[in-house]
Amino acid sequence: MYGGEEQIRQWYGRPLCSSDVMPKILWIKNKEPDIYAKTHKFLTGSSFIAAKLTGNYVVDRFLGLASFNPLYFNDGTPNPETCLPICRPDQLAEVKEANDIAGYVTETASKETGLAVGTPVIVGTDDSGAEAISTGVVAPPGK
């Protein structure tokens, strides 16, 4: 068995919760191997939307480092040691800041959505991160 309760507490500092992605990927790998074998990238909801609009696979820093813990190093690069039993490092999205530009609306996405070609698309985040950004919280206090 990979992990176990002691390993989980070491990685997360707490028991698993519903926002943890690593055990979900492992479940797909073990229970749905055909789907796992066809999986190009493991994404969040906001990452999926950004990818469909731009063709770029990105995840915001908070979700990458928190929800995908411990698959990324703190600098946002994939951690091969913890990835390999779960997924290939290339199956992870590039980590960026939530308000960074993920890319621009492609011609295909424009036809499917009505958005103008070239419209900038930000990386995005989860509900808590979006709420913080919407209130102007974009940096730690004092910065």
Domains and CATH numbers, the chain: 5-134 (3.30.420.40)
Query: Mean per-residue pLDDT for 31-44?
Result: 96
User: Comparing 9 with 105, which gets the higher pLDDT?
Assistant: 105
Helix (H, G, I), strand (E, B) or coil at 123: coil
**Residue 93 pLDDT greater than 60, yes or no:** yes
Cα 94-98-102 angle, rounded to 5 deg: 55
* 8 Å CB contact between 75 and 96: no
> Rounded to an integer, what distance in angstroms lies between the CA atom of residue 5 and that of residue 72?
20
> In this predicted structure, which of 12-16, 86-90, 122-126 has the lowest mean pLDDT?
12-16
Report residue 102: phi and psi, to 5°: -80, -30
Q: Residue 22: what pLDDT?
A: 86
Res 2 pLDDT > 60: no
Calpha distance 25→140 (Å, rounded): 31
pLDDT higher than 90, residue 16: no
- Whether this prediction's pTM lies above 0.85 is answered by no
